[in-house]
Structure 1
Amino acid sequence: MGGRPMFLDRKSLWPQLRRWEEQAADRDGPFRLRFGTFFVADADAARAVLVDSASNYLPQSGFYRLGPKPLPQAVRSEASRELLRALARHDLASSFDLGSALDEVSDGRGRLRHQRWGVEMVRRYFAPVIAHQRHTEINALVDAYVTSSVVADDIVGHVLRRSHRTVPAVRAGLAEQLGRLSAREGGAQDLVDLVLGLPGELSPGDRAQLLQRLVLSTVGFTGVTLEWVVMLGIRHGYDTPVVRQEQVHRLVREALRLYPTAWRLIRVAAADHEVAGARVHEGEHILIGTHAIHRSAAVWNRPLDFRPSRWEQPTDDQRRSYLPFGKGDGMCPANGFAVKALEHLGHLILRGHRGHVRLHTRKPHVRTLLAPPAGWTRLTPAATPEP
């Protein structure tokens, strides 16, 4: 198998995910899926793969990489530090206009289309960090990438065949623009500065690819989770002017537990070794089923129930089994700031609106990301309580 497992060629993987969860419940340790990949659904085995025995696997990064090859560890660490510095330069919470964003991402009838609106809103939320005060050409290319790749490919799937012609053109356009720029002194103001300032013999095309991956990290995973947070919040009565920040905090954590946007983590063995008693050979793939770990009845009481209250006093086993962003060197760089953005936006939306959700199916849509079912959400402004 290459960089992308063959099973992702299917339109939606939700039935497979549920079947793997059931198989994991009946197995003691890792097991092989029918296409040969090892499936890990235990938190301790997952930690062994991602952290304790990470040297047994090829270096991997979902975002700081060129093709299948990750950037050197020192470069990835510096990039993560620069990302945090760039975020610290902008007061996103106070500068974001929710009303304008909702008008822009809703249709003419005031509806928010699932598998799209969250990514479009988070793109606007993080706009100052993505391409701060850049000319319209770069921002238009970023918007085209979000529409033609993040939405059309990573969320919806290979439905819009045009996306495969658009994405290379977007990368070529970004490479052309980046080739004309140089990093600003004084540290990165945005993701454009970040990729321009990375050391090494990187071509403009390399830097364009890295920018695309960072946009996916920043808006793709966060945007899909925002849709889950708002949809679940509405269905469970959180759309009220008196909803508190700590309630939304637990709501976000439970949404990421029950429907982890990054539903699997994949590693490739660099040498023969064992994982939880199972023999793994060099070149074989390990698939860590985040969704299965998050839904294990051995760890979570009534695991398929949506219960944010479980996060009031989580157990040590539950903390160890909670992997929405992975662990170790390959951990998603959006980890900390994505959760803060979700809590802020979730609280703003649910506190200020009453919602109505309409679903075309009850099954989540699973591709690269685990997205809500097709349908839409309508928000109606609610009166804000007196301070």
Structure 2
Amino acid sequence: MLLDRKSLWPQLRRWEEQAAGRDGPFRLRFGTLFVADADAARDVLVDPAGDYLSQSGFFRLGRESLSQAVRSEASRELLRVLARHDLASSFDLDSALGEVSDGRGRLRHQRWGVELVRRYFAPVIAHRRHTEINALVDAYVTSSVVTDDIVGHVLRRSHRTVPAVRAGLAEQLGRLPLRESGAQDLVDVVLGLPGELSTADRAQLLQRLVLSTVGFTGVTLEWVVMLGIRHGYDTPAVGQEQVHQLVKEALRLYPTAWRLIRVAAADHDLAGCRVREGEHVLIGTHAIHRSAAVWDEPLDFRPSRWEQPTDDQRRSYLPFGKGEGMCPANGFAVKALEHLGHLILHGHRGHVRLRTRKPHVRTLLAPPAGWTRLTPAAAPDR
């Protein structure tokens, strides 16, 4: 199976080469339909005809998504929680960078961004909760988000930590009352979800929301900082608008969610291809974001393209998906990326060392293995 491989980068490149020689969707050798066209992708994601099962990568239990009504309420509560916290003014970047760097002052790729964003969103995830809950969240980030979703070390040993973390979270959630003053964090959000949900169900939902909040944002932050350093954005003169365009371009070239999957609910036609009920459709956002039919010099890093994007480019830009299954992290993640990206690049000079030039592809599309070193801008470069 695909996830028996350490990195899916070779498979992704092969699929994209096949897509470049075809006019529409085509089936991979294991039967999944591969879509690399933006219009067809939007037909699947927005789905006005109801041809696909309603699903969400984060508001689900196992393979079954929560109802749309519950997902909508959870998303609204998440936004209310974010509004309660002034993350921009309360975050201590220097302290966090010191905590996530290794013993030699290096930020190791495929890890540091997630660990830093975990600290950034700590008030949103488990605000002033006791040590046990925060320790369990940290264990989940380390043993699952980093180890499995990003790196793939789970392939080399038995993976027992995540079920233990989920059981521990379920036990802790079962002891907590629902706040009468409204949700303060993600713990409150999952505790307040309506329906006959067990504490184990709510623990699973909390884990998925942590992945949405920390995993996707943290990996993208690594791309933003690495690309910013390599293209000269690590200067006190860098402005907010420059970082805004840098984040947009980083998400275009390296969409962390490199593919989106939907399941057909009925037989139908998609861009001239017959889709059968139960069939899986894989939308290649990485391929769509690099289409020469839409983007000028698509493989080049050009943040200035976002000064005046075309309508086709806006339609083809799908880093968080579209429709009701859109990633719940999309709005606040971009704000966090712009804030953290500007703080880091404005205040530091950077140096990047890579072991390979190939991105690392698992659940998330992460930067190549290597490290980044930051030096405060006020200090001389080492």
Q: Does 1:210 align with 2:182?
A: no
The aligned residue for residue 347 of structure 2 is 352
Instruction: Tell me the TM-score normalised to structure 2 length.
Output: 0.98
Gaps of 5+ in 2: none
Number of aligned positions between the proteins: 379
* 1:184-199 correspondence to structure 2 within 5 Å: 184-199=179-194
Q: Does 1:381 align with 2:362?
A: no
The aligned residue for residue 222 of structure 1 is 217
In 2: Cα distance, 1:163 partner to 1:54 partner = 43
**Among candidates 93, 97, 100, match of residue 95 of structure 2:** 100
Instruction: Tell me the TM-score normalised to structure 1 length.
Output: 0.96
**Among candidates 49, 59, 65, match of residue 54 of structure 2:** 59
8 A contact 1:271–1:281 mirrored in 2:
yes
In 2: Cα distance, 1:94 partner to 1:156 partner = 32
The aligned residue for residue 327 of structure 2 is 332
Q: Does 1:367 align with 2:380?
A: no
* 1:1-387 correspondence to structure 2 within 5 Å: 6-53=1-48, 55-159=50-154, 161=156, 164-383=159-378
Tell me the CA shift for residue 159 of structure 1: 4.2
SS at match of 1:17: helix
> Which residue identity lines up with residue 113 of structure 1 in the other structure?
R
Gaps of 5+ in 1: 1-5
Give a deviation string over 1:242-301, Cα, whole Å, max 9, x none: 000000000000000000000000011111111011001111100000000000000001
Deviates more, 1:341-350 or 1:32-41: 32-41
Q: 1:46 to 1:230 in 2, by over 3 A?
A: same
> Which residue identity lines up with residue 219 of structure 2 in the other structure?
V
The aligned residue for residue 3 of structure 1 is none
> Which residue identity lines up with residue 106 of structure 1 in the other structure?
S
8 A contact 2:4–2:155 mirrored in 1:
no
In 2: Cα distance, 1:288 partner to 1:107 partner = 37
In 2: Cα distance, 1:374 partner to 1:172 partner = 32
In 2: Cα distance, 1:84 partner to 1:308 partner = 28
Tell me the CA shift for residue 186 of structure 1: 2.4
8 A contact 1:149–1:163 mirrored in 2:
no
Give the alignment's Cα RMSD to 1 decimal: 1.1
In 1: Cα distance, 2:111 partner to 2:347 partner = 21
SS at match of 1:57: coil
Identity of aligned residues (%): 89
Tell me the CA shift for residue 187 of structure 1: 1.6
SS at match of 1:256: helix
Tell me the CA shift for residue 59 of structure 1: 1.4
